[in-house]
Structure formats: C-alpha cells, structure tokens
C-alpha cells in the first residue's frame, strides 16, 4: 500500500437548472417537473455507500456541490446530505465545503441556512453585471439581483466566496469587459473565475453563434483584465482562476495537482488511487432519470502506468506554479526517472528550466504549452 496517498475531495453533481443556458455544455437539464429532491438525495447516498470501499480509511479535504444548480435544493436537504456523508467518511478538521449558487432572488433567501448547514464557501454564477449581456447569455437573473446576492452572501457569513465572470460576450467591447470586471472586483470576492465564453458543440450558441469579439480584441481583454486583477491583489494561479492570498479553491486545485476525487451524482467522474497503487477512473450514468434508477458506476477503468506522467502534466500544467518532484512522486507513485527523457528534450527546446526540486516552465513554454505537453505523451 502506498505510504502517502493524494488528497481526497468529493464532488457532488446536481443536474437540474431552472432553464438551460444557450452556451452551456454541462450535464444540466431544464427542470420541467417537480424537483425529485428526496429521491435524488437518497440516490446520492446509495451511490456514495457503494463507492466507500475505494476510499476506506481516508478523510475528505473538500466537498464541492456543483451542477447544474445545486441551490435549487433546500438547505434542509443539503444539511441532511452532509450529515449522512459525515457518518460514512471522516471530514478533515479544516474541510472546505463549496456550493455553487445562482444569484436569483429565490436562492438568496436560502444563503443563511446553507451557511448554518456547514457550507463554508459559495460560488456565485454571476457571469456579467450588465443586464443586456445577461439577457444575451439567456440568464434568468439580472445585475441588480447579482449585487443583492453578494450582499446576502456576506450577511449570511460567507467571507469566502467566488464570482464566476465571463468575457468575450456577444457584442462586448473592451470598455464593457473592463467595466464588468471592475464591477465584480468592487464586490471584493476572495476568488474570481474569469473565463472566456467559448462555443461548445451540442449547445444552442454553437448552432446559432451570436456575434462574438474578434481574436485580437479578446487578447486585449485578457491583457488589460489580467493587469486589473493583479492591481487589485488577485493572483492568477490557474488558466482562469484568480484569488486573494490563501483563498485559492482547494477543491479545484486538487484536480489540477492530480489529487484524488470521488464523484457522486448524475454523470459524475472519479479518479482514485487504490490501496494497491493503481489509479482508477469511474463514471456514473449521465441522464438524471437513468441515474435515479441506477446510481451505480457505469464505467470503470484503470489508468495504464505509462499514461500517468502525461495525465499528471495535462492537469498540472494548468497551474502557474513550479513543478516539484516531491508532488509528482506522491501523486503518481512513479519514479522521477520516468520523465527524464522528455524533460531533457523540453529543456533543449527552451520550454522548461530544470532545477534540483523539479522544473519551471519558461515564457516560451507557456506560449507553446501544447508542444510541451506532447513531449510527455507515452511512446507507442
């Protein structure tokens, strides 16, 4: 059995939304009938109980309730869920428990009770603070309710909260984008996910694209936006994640550091290091109705040892931090020699600088990240 296993997080997927947004490719479904709240909570618990043998004796460092819109569920249901989870698996004393919430007025009335239920981090899907942009995105909230949501979150006790904000919105000018970002910063979130709207297959926007800003405009948004974020004390630690000191999202960071996670709920994925050192990936049935009838693993497979180095890099190189051998060896159980050949080549190409602890990616490496990643692909 490996002596030190990676940290463990729990992801819980809630697959319903009041209305499907035209750009969204998540496993989310418009709620057309009454929310099957208790049935779903029971399915989640069955799901978790079945998976427990894979995480025996370990403790949860983080829980992330995402979706969909988990805040459609009542505080009482989520409290019950958290209590039942706590009876099955130990929580770390400083566990981070995040809930994704929409900034609609109905959700805001529940924030206080969510906080009392033990949720200690809120992630608000605000996306924009301009009404015309929210309408263009097909969102059901407006800027006023978004501002109110932040006030309600703070009053409820959430000192740790994230704002999701997008740029590259339909007909968005540079002024619009910077105004939006400044408005979000004025709300003083501890964390900001600032990411570009992209047209994903299987979305309404993909089939009927709205007029989006040109690439050179997007580049300008990014340059000026990053400058603004930095000047307000937000450190970029991942491609689209910015945080105040000590407020990085521990749950997401664990994904990028190739940590372990157990996923329960419709379509949820898991990545777990087992007691024999093998890394297993697992997923649950995607459609909510199918999942409700059978919350068992739909697919399970082991990651081949020769793929682990590449998989680690695929995740880790999203982070803006130096690579260390210590973490690599802990997370993959591989020897550092397994990366010697691709790393030497990467250094020869000027993409990384090797040091005794590991390596750092050079500016050239960040510019040609895909080329860097390719070097770690297993040889056939």
Answer for which of 5, 13, 28, 272 binds ligand SF4 (CB under 6 A) is 28
Q: Which is nearer to ligand SF4, 105 or 275 (CB)?
A: 105
Question: Does residue 193 belong to the site contacting ligand SF4 (CB under 6 A)?
Answer: no
Say how far apart CA 287 and CA 28 lie, in whole Å.
9
Say how far apart CA 66 and CA 265 lie, in whole Å.
10
Q: How many residues sit in the footprint of ligand SF4 (CB under 6 A)?
A: 11
How many other β-carbons are positioned within 10 Å of the β-carbon of residue 245?
9
Identify which range of 16-24, 40-48, 226-234, 293-301 contacts ligand SF4 by CB under 6 A.
16-24
**Shortest gap between Cβ of 67 and ligand SF4 (angstroms)?**
5
Question: Does residue 68 belong to the site contacting ligand SF4 (CB under 6 A)?
Answer: yes
Residues 109-128 that bind ligand SF4 (CB under 6 A): 125
Main-chain phi, psi angles of 26, to 5 degrees? -75, 170
The pair of three-digit structure tokens given for residue 112, joined into one six-digit string = 């206080």
Of the candidates 248, 270, 271, 374, which has an alpha carbon nearest to the alpha carbon of residue 319? Answer: 248
Question: Does residue 142 belong to the site contacting ligand SF4 (CB under 6 A)?
Answer: no
Beta bridge partners of 359: 323, 354
Q: Using alpha carbons only, give the angle 133, 139, 144 rounded to the nearest 5 degrees.
A: 70
The pair of three-digit structure tokens given for residue 339, joined into one six-digit string = 């990366």
Identify which range of 24-32, 36-44, 147-155, 183-191 contacts ligand SF4 by CB under 6 A.
24-32
Answer for which of 6, 9, 67, 295 binds ligand SF4 (CB under 6 A) is 67
Identify which range of 15-23, 87-95, 181-189, 299-307 contacts ligand SF4 by CB under 6 A.
15-23
How many other β-carbons are positioned within 10 Å of the β-carbon of residue 24?
17
**Shortest gap between Cβ of 26 and ligand SF4 (angstroms)?**
5
Residues 77-106 that bind ligand SF4 (CB under 6 A): 102
Question: Does residue 21 belong to the site contacting ligand SF4 (CB under 6 A)?
Answer: yes
Q: Which is nearer to ligand SF4, 26 or 91 (CB)?
A: 26
Q: Where are the alpha helices (DSSP H) in 200-240?
A: 204-207, 215-231
Query: Do you find a cis peptide bond into 68, omega within 30 degrees of 0?
Result: yes
Question: Does residue 24 belong to the site contacting ligand SF4 (CB under 6 A)?
Answer: yes
Say how far apart CA 69 and CA 99 lie, in whole Å.
9
**Shortest gap between Cβ of 307 and ligand SF4 (angstroms)?**
30
Q: Applying CB under 6 A, which residues contact ligand SF4?
A: 17, 20-21, 24, 26, 28, 67-69, 102, 125
């Amino acid at each position: 059995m490996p002596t030190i296993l990676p940290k463990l997080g729990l992801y819980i997927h809630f697959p319903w939304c009041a209305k499907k947004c035209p750009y969204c490719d998540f496993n989310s479904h418009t709620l057309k009938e009454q929310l099957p709240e208790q049935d779903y909570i029971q399915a989640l618990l069955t799901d978790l109980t079945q998976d427990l043998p894979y995480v025996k004796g370990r403790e949860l460092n983080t829980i992330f309730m995402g979706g969909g819109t988990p805040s459609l569920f009542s505080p009482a249901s989520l409290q019950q869920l958290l209590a039942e989870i706590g009876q099955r698996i130990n929580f770390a004393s400083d566990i981070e428990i995040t809930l994704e919430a929409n900034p609609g007025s109905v959700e805001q009335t529940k924030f206080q009770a969510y906080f009392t239920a033990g949720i200690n981090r809120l992630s608000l899907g605000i996306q924009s603070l301009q009404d015309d942009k929210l309408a263009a995105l097909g969102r059901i909230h407006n800027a006023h309710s978004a501002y109110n949501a932040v006030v309600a979150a703070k009053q409820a006790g959430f000192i740790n909260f994230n704002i999701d904000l997008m740029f590259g919105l339909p007909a968005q000018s540079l002024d619009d984008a910077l105004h939006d970002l400044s408005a979000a910063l004025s709300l003083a979130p501890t964390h900001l996910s600032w990411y570009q709207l992209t047209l994903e297959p299987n979305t309404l926007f993909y089939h009927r694209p709205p007029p989006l800003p040109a690439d050179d405009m997007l580049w300008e948004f990014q340059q000026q936006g990053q400058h603004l974020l930095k000047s307000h004390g937000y450190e970029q630690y991942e491609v689209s994640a910015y945080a105040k000191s000590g407020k990085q999202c521990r749950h997401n960071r664990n994904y990028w550091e190739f940590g372990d996670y157990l996923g329960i709920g419709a379509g949820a994925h898991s990545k777990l290091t087992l007691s024999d050192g093998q890394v297993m990936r697992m997923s649950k049935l995607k459609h909510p109705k199918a999942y409700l009838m059978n919350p068992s693993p739909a697919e399970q497979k082991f990651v081949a040892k020769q793929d682990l180095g590449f998989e680690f890099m695929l995740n880790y190189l999203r982070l803006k931090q130096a690579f260390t051998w210590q973490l690599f060896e802990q997370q993959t159980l591989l020897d550092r020699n397994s990366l010697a050949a691709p790393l030497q080549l990467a250094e020869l190409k000027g993409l990384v600088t090797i040091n005794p602890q590991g390596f750092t990616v050079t500016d050239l490496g960040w510019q040609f990240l895909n080329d860097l990643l390719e070097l770690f692909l297993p040889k056939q």
